[in-house]
Amino acid sequence: MGGSGQRRVVVAGAGIPGLSLALALKQAHGPALAVTICDPGLASGTARHRGRAYAVAAGGRRMFERLGIWDAVAKAAEPIRDMAVSDSRLTDPVRPVFLTFAQDADVAPGEPFAHMVEAEPLVEALLAACAAAGVALDPVGIVAADPAGEAIALTRSDGTQETASLLVAADGARSRLREAAGIGWVGWGYPQSGIVATIGHERPHGGRAYEHFLPSGPFAILPLVAGGELGHRSSIVWTERKADVAALLGGGSDETLAEIERRFGHGFGRIVLEAGPSAHPLAFGIARRFRAERLALLGDAAHVIHPIAGQGLNLGLAGAASLAQAVTDALRLGLDPGAPDVLRAYERDRRFDTLAMGAMTDGLNRLFSTDALPVRLARDLGLGLVDRLPGLKRLFIGQAAARRGDGPRLLRGQAL
């Protein structure tokens, strides 16, 4: 690469979307494109991802298969074969199931709409593949970025400088690079926290996920691969009123486990805490633009949504697939990968889907996080109607699986 920074992409942030983008670009272009990931967190390995798990939609799985890492992840991936949705108060003796996807949970024969994948082995596989492909992994941050004509000048936290054609800000919801570029943010916090934990249990889950709607927010039980102290495991994503979190989690481990068991139910036999719980404030936010001069926003730096539908990571993967495609198409035509028209193409592709998913999750959370009787009756009626309409259920599954016929090539399992 010359001093102008041509044919170099720097990704600031080693989260799953950033790693996936870097790997896709390096595999597609080899020595012709220098790709660097900068993140101080690389110095601590994958420990920061321990105890977390994600629902990876079918489109994301196809992308990981194309990138050659799914085989390394498959042992840590549990297919979601069924899903049950219930709605009740915590004190109700019966939790009626209004909606199931038992016969509709495949996007194609034998292809589940999602897998639950533990974050640590997924990040390990991505890091190993990036290193093998020749991606530079630097445990430093980017503290300043100054676009200048055909390049963007970068200052790293160790004081060194470099230039690139394109900087990708994948540095989280509080992205300093986004703020420095003057890109506005529209969003709000929810009066809720998301509590995550890994639960061991005696009885198998059978690949079934549960979404139990309570007045304080949804309580999701998501199947993980077998293992642990009791032989079976699930991940929980527990949305609770922020004001109540300290009281719910502030006691000893026995008290915390008792609160979880009240929501988890007794259908899985005895339960134990294997990891967590940890609480995280919930928010909605979207950047006013996904780009600036020689800068693209990716993942949480571009958007944050409520976890009610488990689509946060899948939005980030769709962004990585779209940006990789826009950059690749430009490079193969001999064009500048950081040019305005390249970044506009990326923004056009992702903006509508992101807004739509954000609006949907926000609306679902507001609809289901209330105990008003008329609202409860209306939403339960709606769930029952959906359960009786196979075509509509398949549409929902297709959306959850990131199944878009005209989507980015990687999400369709195709090469860049």
- Rounded CA separation 339/324 (Å): 14
pLDDT reported for residue 107: 61
Span between the terminal Cα atoms of the chain, in Å: 22
Strand blocks (E) in 170-255: 185-201, 208-214, 217-223, 232-241
pLDDT reported for residue 380: 60
Model pTM score: 0.91
pLDDT reported for residue 2: 39
- Rounded CA separation 325/411 (Å): 11
Residue 186, beta-bridge partner list: 286
Assign domain 8-77+117-187+284-375 to a CATH class.
Answer: alpha beta
How would you classify the pairing of strands 295-297 and 166-169?
parallel
- Rounded CA separation 341/325 (Å): 13
The model's pLDDT over 71-110, given as tens digits with 9 standing for 90+, comes to 999 999 999 988 888 887 887 767 777 677 665 555 666 7
The model's pLDDT over 167-221, given as tens digits with 9 standing for 90+, comes to 999 999 999 999 999 999 999 999 999 999 999 999 999 999 998 988 888 899 9
The model's pLDDT over 270-315, given as tens digits with 9 standing for 90+, comes to 999 999 899 999 999 999 999 999 999 999 999 999 998 788 999 9
Q: Which of 198-202, 224-228, 352-356 has the lowest mean pLDDT?
A: 352-356
Q: Which residue has the tokens 């009740």?
A: 88
pLDDT reported for residue 309: 79
3-state DSSP assignment of residue 228: coil
pLDDT reported for residue 382: 62
